Amino acid sequence: MSQTNILLESGTNELEIVEFYIDEPNYRGHYGINVAKVVEIIRTQPATSMPQMRHPAVMGAFPHRDGKVVALVDLAVYLGKARPASSEAKIIVTELNGIVTAFLVSGVNRIHRLSWKDVEEPGEFLQNMSRYSITGVVRLENRVVFLLDIEHVVSDIDPSLAIQLATVQEANTDDADAAVVLHADDSASIRNLVKRLLEKSGSFKIIQAVSGEDAWKMLEGMKKRAAEDGKRIGDIVQAVITDIEMPRMDGLTLCRKIKEDPELKHLPVALFSSIISHTLQHKGASVGADAQFTKPDLKTLSEKLTELIAASRGE
């Protein structure tokens, strides 16, 4: 099964997920992955062990396209599930941040087209139980589907693929000159890292939102405050960084709404997401994004954001 062409349309607040399941004795858990991250779904493959990859969920590796070797991760082991052997088992091959990874699952159901408004935020208990690998919850017919944070899983298995603290260098910038940037991301770990790294540079003061909807409400509040104080919105906030995949409102929709607003449209908006690729960049461009960066390239994001803010200030 190959990736479909019915990918997330720009700014419609929709997504498509591949629904799969992981069986346990007397229970079947349903999960979903954004179609934009799926390369293909294939039959099980024999894997060669990888002594250098000591995470218990890594089964080994197998040859994929163009002679590349791909790591195979048993999602049941990663999630702490006792998966029985099954002839229906499938491998979901994903690509994000340029990294191709394969995941063994019990089986695959179908593709669903959803609105981000229908995606519920996971509670703290669910996050703890899933090792913070669940980003959303969807109720479909008679079952609950958990949206899996593949980016978190990959970086947890191989920490070298996560955002690194050393990517942004400290600078001697006066706090009064620091640009105020609104950052929207549903991942608490990503929010914490981005805030620490960008504020470490001395060039930015980061305020944060947990979703696109949350960020939009904050921007509307800033607009109201600016009007009451006789200021421009640019006097309160100078730029926006947003993830794309978020419950309630995605980053593409947030960007479109900003660029369609007469008062907000001059704010630079940078998309910072693991699903940005050469084939999907047109979606960000179609909603007016000023820049697009793939996680974990925070250093380049920082440099470009500085340029965009300077240009918007006329410097």
**What DSSP designation does 66 have?**
G
**What's the confidence (pLDDT) of residue 6?**
40
- β-partners of residue 92 are 41, 103
Whether pLDDT at 99 is above 70: yes
**What number is the average pLDDT over the span 89-98?**
89
Specify the CATH architecture of the domain 163-312: 3-Layer(aba) Sandwich (3.40)
Residues 66 and 59: their CA atoms lie apart, in Å, by 21
Domain boundaries, the chain: 14-160, 163-312
**What number is the average pLDDT over the span 202-214?**
94
**What DSSP designation does 48 have?**
B
**What's the confidence (pLDDT) of residue 163?**
57
Strands 27-34 and 143-148: parallel
Question: In sequence order, which ranges of the chain are alpha helices (DSSP H)?
Answer: 75-78, 124-129, 150-157, 188-200, 212-229, 251-260, 281-286, 298-312
**What's the confidence (pLDDT) of residue 2?**
40
**Tokens 């002679």, residue?**
67
**What DSSP designation does 120 have?**
B
Is 252:269 a contact under the CB 8 Å cutoff?
no
Q: Considering the domain 14-160 in this protein, what is its CATH number?
A: 2.40.50.180
What pTM, to 2 d.p., does this model score? 0.78
Token output for 199? 């504020």
Token output for 49? 């062990």
**What's the confidence (pLDDT) of residue 138?**
95
Q: What is the pLDDT of residues 145-188, one digit of tens each?
A: 999 988 888 888 887 666 554 444 555 445 667 999 999 998 87
Q: What is the pLDDT of residues 229-255, one digit of tens each?
A: 999 999 999 999 999 999 999 999 999
Whether pLDDT at 293 is above 80: yes
User: How high is the mean pLDDT of the chain?
Assistant: 86
124 against 203, higher pLDDT: 203
